[in-house]
Amino acid sequence: MRRASEKYLRVILMSVVAMCLCAGLATAQEGSYGGTLRVAVNNEVGSLDMALDTTDLVSIIGIHIWETLFVYDAGGNPVPYLAEDLEYNEDGTIVTIHLREGVLFHNGDEMDSGDVAISLERAFEYGKRSNMIGAYVTDVATPDKYTVVLTFSSPFGPLTSILAHFTGGSPIMPAEIAEAAGGNLLTTDQYIGTGPYQFVEHIPGVHLKLRRFEEYVPVDQEPDGYAGRRIAYVDEILFISVPESDTRYAGVEAGDYDYGYRMASSLYELATADPTLLVLKDSPPAWNMVALGWKEGPLADPLLRGAVKAALDFTEITALSLGSLGSPNPSIMVDTTPWYTLAGAEWYDKPDPEKAKDLMSQAGYDGEPLVFLSTASNDVRYLSSIAIVEQLTNVGFNVELKLYDWPTVKSLRGDMGNWDLLIGSHGGYVEPAVQSFLNPAKQFAWDTPEITALVAQLISETEYEARFAVWEQIQTLLYEDGVLIKLNDGYEWHVASATRLTGADKAPLRWLSFWNIWKND
């Protein structure tokens, strides 16, 4: 990879060290082909459109179908994947991307620059995270079959980090599909990518089935996180919706499923004591949060937002929802990155019920309900919500908890008029600019003029010291204003059969992948 600013490259490589635990080297041992991998997941999915839907499960399934120009390696570095190389001009405003040759789509056509350009243009306009790139791109050109040139209005620091990000990212698909889909979610007949598996069918309530793509063209490098060689050992992958964590767990124990996605924290100690099970913990941790409806409704009043903050005890919430798998932490970015900072910590996790009551009195709070949008299909979010409701009620808030499955929550959260409090989480990202609450495409985006200007500066700066200073300002303002409350860092965990699977313990874990894994039976 060639860059104009070698100093900035070194900073980028430093900043992604946090991902070092999230992706292990996939096994280099030759495995056995055949069989069906049965993965019990906690929800049904709608469209698998990774660009327009930021649900983790959508990306986990989707990365087997679609691939991206860059991916994260085991050290968390964004490295070329469908891209061969990348270079910048002197001032960093023109980026030339050279593509791998001979990569095939599931329809048999070879990927070329036209497909990549149209896919990127769609993602830059409509993608939930890649739209951050689109705001700065002035031209996408294709000088030859295997070259794409991006022209920016100003230098764009986090380019490869965002291109390597799966959720809300830039999946590459045939040009005619990207063009036809536009801003609409992809339909099942449009699920054509370059990945090691291809879509077969989705029967809600039964399964979503993928089958090995026999003409897949892997990278000729050793597996390294999401980078390197991807081998589709199993013939088929079935993603089966099993909403209850206990049922997923028991199903893996009994042999009904090979892999169980997102287990309840209450089962963790039991699982670690069972030698027939692999316990797989995501790393780096995600951070759990509550978004506040700061644009309208009662929490548009900063006094009431302050009261909510003062009412909450993060340690109690964490103990109930995560146990030993979580802890309060004021830094948005994980502590193994140079972005870690305690800026604003003086406003973090300061439970004071009397202060909360005083602020409510100053605001003239009259018992208007706070609508709390949450879900029972995720144990951490559900248990966090129960604790939050209790703590807010104890200081005098009237809270109306509304529980839905996660797809319904997603359909409602787009209108802040539907809620005053929204449960959620963010991934343990390695680049601060990709934090969802800073993205204007997100439903709870923090897009005041002051923050919008700071985000623009964070993106356009190319020197680490300047970017870090801006990031500290953003984190400080976040805790002062209280538009979003970080509750804790928490580890999601999964369980797999130690006897029926090989390679599952070495697969990347931020977004589960099932290439380089094989069945033993």
Question: Residue 133 above 60 pLDDT?
Answer: yes
Q: Which residues contact residue 160 at a Cβ distance below 8 angstroms, ignoring those fewer than 6 apart?
A: 12, 70, 78, 86
Amino acid at 426: H
In contact, 386 and 487? CB cutoff 8 Å: no
pLDDT above 90: residue 297: yes
For residues 262-288, give the mean pLDDT: 92
Q: Per-residue pLDDT for 447 more than 50?
A: yes
pLDDT band at 443 (very low <50, low <70, confident <90, very high): low
Predicted confidence (pLDDT) at residue 9 exceeds the cutoff of 80: no
Q: Which residue has the tokens 């030859």?
A: 144
Average pLDDT, the chain: 90
Q: Average pLDDT, stretch 435-461?
A: 83
From the number of C-beta atoms within 10 Å of its C-beta (0-12, 13-18, 19+), residue 350 rates as: middle
pLDDT band of residue 298 (cuts 50, 70, 90) is very high
**445 pLDDT more than 80:** no
Whether the per-residue pLDDT at 442 is higher than 70: the answer is no
Q: Produce one character per residue of 420-429: b if its CB has 16 or more CB atoms within 10 Å, e if not.
A: bbbbbbbbbb
pTM above 0.85, yes or no: no
Say what the pLDDT of residue 11 is: 37
Residue with tokens 């991206």: 68
CATH superfamily ID and name for 286-490: Dipeptide-binding Protein; Domain 3 (3.10.105.10)
What pLDDT, on a 0 to 100 scale, did the predictor assign at position 29? 54
Share of the chain above pLDDT 90, in %: 73
pLDDT reported for residue 509: 73
Average pLDDT over residues 3-13: 38
Query: Yes or no: is domain 6-280+493-519 CATH 3.40.190.10?
Result: yes
What values do phi and psi take at 249, rounded to 5?
Answer: -60, -50
pLDDT tens per residue across span 468-516? 999 999 999 999 887 899 999 999 899 999 999 999 988 777 789 999 9
Q: Which of 397, 389, 387 is nearest to 363 (CA)?
A: 397
Euclidean distance between the first and the last CA atom of the chain, given in angstroms as a whole number: 42
DSSP 8-state class, residue 403: E
The predicted structure's pLDDT at residue 8: 39
Per the DSSP assignment, residues forming a β-bridge with 80 are 70
Q: What is the pLDDT of residues 344-392, one digit of tens each?
A: 999 999 999 999 999 999 999 999 999 999 999 888 999 999 999 999 9
Average the pLDDT over each of 54-68, 334-348, 438-452 and give the range with the smallest value. Answer: 438-452
Model confidence at 316: pLDDT above 70: yes
Taking the domains of the chain in order of start, what are their residue ranges? Answer: 6-280+493-519, 286-490
User: In whole angstroms, what is the distance from residue 294 CA to residue 420 CA?
Assistant: 8
Joined tokens for residue 272 = 């670690």
Predicted confidence (pLDDT) at residue 158 exceeds the cutoff of 60: yes
